[in-house]
Amino acid sequence: MFDIAIKPTPRTSTCVEAITVNPIAGTAKVRFAKNGYEYKYSNVSRAKIVNLLLQDNISLGFWVQELINNSKTVRYTDRSRQAVIATGKPVYELIGTSYEASAELPF
């Protein structure tokens, strides 16, 4: 399956430096502005992703905060697609870090 990445309409955010979403796979990749950590969220509600893409007035910080509050971590050994889907909740994993705000996005 191919991986598409859609960037929502640019908005100012003190929390989120960059975000891409995939409404087909139900994933979101987020880079945080404060520390440069990059996370991949799976099992994200497709309705919430489409809402983020269509509504330009949604705060990225609030959207990501709700995602964080409803997510659980994926163990390093338990990253299979079946294990992620079996949780029934959004799950996240650390996929990288950047030390500069001007570094190229990996997604």
Residue 90 in contact with residue 44, Cβ under 8 Å? Answer: yes
Using alpha carbons, list the distances in angstroms from residue 77 to 1, 3, 27, 44, 99: 22, 23, 20, 21, 27
- The model's pTM: 0.79
For the chain, give the mean pLDDT. 82
Token output for 103: 């570094």
Token output for 14: 């003190």
Share of the chain above pLDDT 70, in %: 75
What's the confidence (pLDDT) of residue 57? Answer: 92
Buried residues in 31-70 as b, exposed as e (16+ CB within 10 A): bbeeeeebbbbbbbeeebbeebeeeeebebbebbeebeee
In this prediction, residue 74 has a pLDDT band, given cuts at 50, 70 and 90, of low
Query: pLDDT digits over 31-73, tens only?
Result: 998 888 999 998 899 999 999 999 999 999 999 999 888 877 6
